[in-house]
Amino acid sequence: MEGKILRGKDIAVKIEEELKKQVEAQKRKLGRALQLTTVVIAEDSASKIYLASQAKVAARLGIGFDFQKLPGDISQNNLDKKIQNLNQAGTVDGILIQMPLPMHLDPKRAINFLSPDKDVEGLHPQNLGKLFFLEPKIISPTVASVMAILEETKIDLQGKEVVIVGHSEIVGKPLSLLLLNKLATTTVCHIGTSRAGHLEMHLKRAEILIVAVGKPRFIKGSSLKKGVVVVDVGINRENGKLVGDVDFETAKKKASFITPVPGGVGALTPVMLMRNLLRLTQ
């Protein structure tokens, strides 16, 4: 038996339908369209795809979207000023700083300059800090997408053996806190786990496995427990094709549910971003 494929696109359509009504209601209340501004400094192929999907979803929802391209050699001070101007702009509801930044800029400082009230990706320390105690209003769209996908399985997370591979600030760390808040038994694996030779042991007992490593087809089906739910956050380019961190073909033979790449987590992210924008205005 092969696992049921959890398509982010199908979940996105449902969430977007509901969101559209809420965005329209908020538009009537504010007397203007919601506005998202994305600041772009360095552009790579992944950020171009993300920008294009932001523009598409914003257009479908009637949200104003503009991206401001700044010179690649902008100084940190000038970037700080730019962010402060956007923080003060009355008609801008949400600001996204497209990552990665060029090497000479400090991304943490840029995020710190963002007003937490306009931090549409939930990356400001104040928004991240709220994760510690409760479910906050704004969480990273990627993390929100993983949670929406898990909800779709209707599995009660309480007491489940959840294994996250990857401990980044945008995925693994915030996700682990959210899952703890749901009373899942949450293990976070990372490069240290692999170096110690313990990754296989954790993979073997995972009932729910979330992978955000950034290595094409890194996790094979042979490492997985039968019936595991697999959520693959990875987006990698391999021979001109997008592939995840999980070897889909072998993993789907073991999984009860599995997300594809493309069309899984990534398909939901821009919708979750717009949901955050709405929440910032509420």
Positions touching ligand NAD (CB under 6 A) are 142, 165-168, 170-172, 189-191, 193-194, 199, 212-214, 233-236, 265-266, 269
Minimum gap (Å) between residue 75 Cβ and ligand NAD:
25
Q: Considering beta carbons, is residue 208 or 243 the nearer one to ligand NAD?
A: 243
| Distance in angstroms (rounded) separating the CA atoms of residues 256 and 155 | 11
Minimum gap (Å) between residue 232 Cβ and ligand NAD:
9
| Distance in angstroms (rounded) separating the CA atoms of residues 232 and 216 | 11
Q: Considering beta carbons, is residue 157 or 233 the nearer one to ligand NAD?
A: 233
| Distance in angstroms (rounded) separating the CA atoms of residues 256 and 258 | 7
Minimum gap (Å) between residue 173 Cβ and ligand NAD:
9
CA angle 114, 119, 123 (to 5 degrees): 90
**Cβ count near 15 (within 10 Å):** 17
Q: Considering beta carbons, is residue 92 or 171 the nearer one to ligand NAD?
A: 171
> Per the structure block, which two tokens stand in for 229?
């739910």
Minimum gap (Å) between residue 82 Cβ and ligand NAD:
24
> Per the structure block, which two tokens stand in for 261?
């790449």
Minimum gap (Å) between residue 223 Cβ and ligand NAD:
12
| Distance in angstroms (rounded) separating the CA atoms of residues 250 and 192 | 25
Q: Considering beta carbons, is residue 26 or 193 the nearer one to ligand NAD?
A: 193
Minimum gap (Å) between residue 214 Cβ and ligand NAD:
3
Q: Considering beta carbons, is residue 176 or 256 the nearer one to ligand NAD?
A: 176
Provide the b/e sequence for 211-248 (b: ≥16 CB within 10 Å): bbbeebbbbebebbeeebbbbbbbbbeeeeebbbbbbb
Minimum gap (Å) between residue 24 Cβ and ligand NAD:
26
Minimum gap (Å) between residue 29 Cβ and ligand NAD:
30
| Distance in angstroms (rounded) separating the CA atoms of residues 217 and 247 | 4
Q: Considering beta carbons, is residue 57 or 189 the nearer one to ligand NAD?
A: 189
Whether the CA torsion 204, 210, 215, 216 is positive or negative: it is positive
36: β partners: 65, 94
Closest CA to 199 of 224, 178, 216, 174: 224
Closest CA to 280 of 64, 35, 80: 35
Q: Considering beta carbons, is residue 57 or 170 the nearer one to ligand NAD?
A: 170
Q: Considering beta carbons, is residue 243 or 278 the nearer one to ligand NAD?
A: 243
